Amino acid sequence: MTQATSNPAPATATPCDLLVIGGGPGGSTIAALAAAQGRSVVLVEKDRHPRFHIGESLLPANVRLFEELGVREQIERIGMPKWGVEFVSQQHRHRSFFRFGDAWDKSAPMSWQVRRSEFDEILFSNAAARGATTHQGCRVETVDFDADGADVEALDDSGAPRRWRARYVVDASGRDTLLAHQFADKRRHPRHASAAIFGHYTGARRLEGERLEGNISLFWFAHGWFWFIPLADGTTSIGATCTPGYLKSRNKPLVDFFVDTIAQAPALAERLRGASLIGDRVWATGNYAYVTQRAAGERWLRLGDAYAFIDPVFSSGVYLAMANAFAGADLVAATLDRPREAAAARRRYIAHVRRGPRVFSWFIYRMTNPAMREMFMMPRNVLRAQEAVLSVLAGDIYGGSPIGPSVLFFKFAYYVGAIRRARASWNVWRARRRNLAESGPIEGENVQGST
């Protein structure tokens, strides 16, 4: 099932109830929750905090989770208040604004933009404060399962081996997808393929107004869409999500290619006039959309990006990872404390984990269709459809609000619009199929930098 490490392992393994692989938002959250239940928890992170990570925009649905973890005030101190979303289309003279306070549930009107290095460190430290034993600079190499748990082998950054005997294992390894590689069940996403290129700027012109300055902006362009995420220290995260084929067309240094790509979105280029790319540093990652076949087994579960990674257009990644962690803590408790309930708890967890990507993906697949762009640029609240879609954008997807019928109406209206624009919709669909065929293999977390 696994290959033994070539490094000598300690003679004895340290026992624990739960071993969590990965100290990002999902891993730190489930470690904190399980430790607060009185369990012996080990949280292992391959890097050392603070470390760079992209994905700085949080959803209003995160706020309740921060409160339950006791970290809201810490997040608020480092965050840029985010009250809504701006959409910008080259096919429209106006801009479209959505406020989270107009969603179905009016009690969650805002969230924050955060530097992930600071944000992730807060959650990791919170896990330690709640009783988890944390290890940084330690990479898990193999996990050998049996009926009662797993033997976990790791190497720290000095090359010294570490070993644990865990009753349960959580794979929160992000795009490393450790268990997916071990089980060989990671697959390229069958319906979507994306690439990204991004950097950070100072001096970018933001929206004016206390409740507008921190809003995320989305700019459509010919090959996809751009994000514009203002951070509290004056930095702005700028990135393009595009087709893998477009990224492969690069025939110049990455920085120059990025600047040329920005020029294809004139409204964004105007906002960056006079701004400076920090360190002349740009990152790129190729086809990154993937899925794995299983969310959980008898003594393990996956959460967040270790389970699946979808296009980040709605900033759902951190929320889905943390929501998975709350659901996963219930599954761990059932497995360890109430074994007869474990199978039913596992089915509930699997359904929960699958729901998030499925809800967001319907919108993601169609984001470049002219009919979808028109609905975001010319929104109408017929049968409360706008409120319902705003609820989805805010992360209210697990039954908190009765938005189902209104979302169905929105989808119906979309299909009517797509039929009315049949030729354009057909061209977009055909381009998307061609993109899938030409996208190539998935890439891991090996983000490439260039100066």
pLDDT tens-place string over residues 54-73: 999 999 999 999 999 999 99
Cα–Cα distance measured from residue 89 to residue 377, given in angstroms and rounded to the nearest whole number: 8
User: Does 80-113+193-288+367-451 carry CATH code 3.30.9.100?
Assistant: yes
Rg (alpha carbons) of the chain, rounded to whole number: 22
Angular region, 203: left φ>0, alpha ψ -120 to 50, beta rest: left
What sign results for the dihedral spanned by CA atoms 101, 103, 107, 109? negative
Least confident segment among 3-7, 50-54, 249-253, 430-434: 3-7
Tokens for 207, please give them. 């929206």
Q: 255 pLDDT exceeds 90?
A: yes
As a whole number, the mean pLDDT across the chain is 92
Least confident segment among 187-201, 282-296, 377-391, 424-438: 424-438
What is the percent of the chain where pLDDT is above 70?
94
Torsion angle of C-alpha atoms 194, 54, 181, 7, degrees rounded to 10: 150
* DSSP H or E run through 181: helix 178-183
Q: What is the mean pLDDT of residues 63-87?
A: 98
Cα–Cα distance measured from residue 240 to residue 224, given in angstroms and rounded to the nearest whole number: 7
Res. 441 pLDDT band, cuts 50 70 90:
low
> Which phi and psi (to 5°) does residue 287 adopt?
-60, 115
pLDDT, tens digit, 9 for 90 and up, residues 399-419: 889 999 999 999 999 999 999
Residue spans of the domains in the chain: they are 14-73+115-189+290-358, 80-113+193-288+367-451
pLDDT, tens digit, 9 for 90 and up, residues 141-166: 999 999 999 999 999 999 999 999 99
Contact call for residues 237 and 229 (beta carbons, < 8 A): yes
Cα–Cα distance measured from residue 422 to residue 26, given in angstroms and rounded to the nearest whole number: 41
Least confident segment among 7-21, 27-41, 309-323: 7-21
Domains 14-73+115-189+290-358 and 80-113+193-288+367-451 share a fold: no
Sheet with 186-188, side-by-side order of all strands:
186-188, 290-292, 308-309
Any idea which fold 14-73+115-189+290-358 has? FAD/NAD(P)-binding domain (3.50.50)
What sign results for the dihedral spanned by CA atoms 259, 361, 190, 310? positive
Q: How are beta strands 290-292 and 276-285 bridged, if at all?
A: unpaired
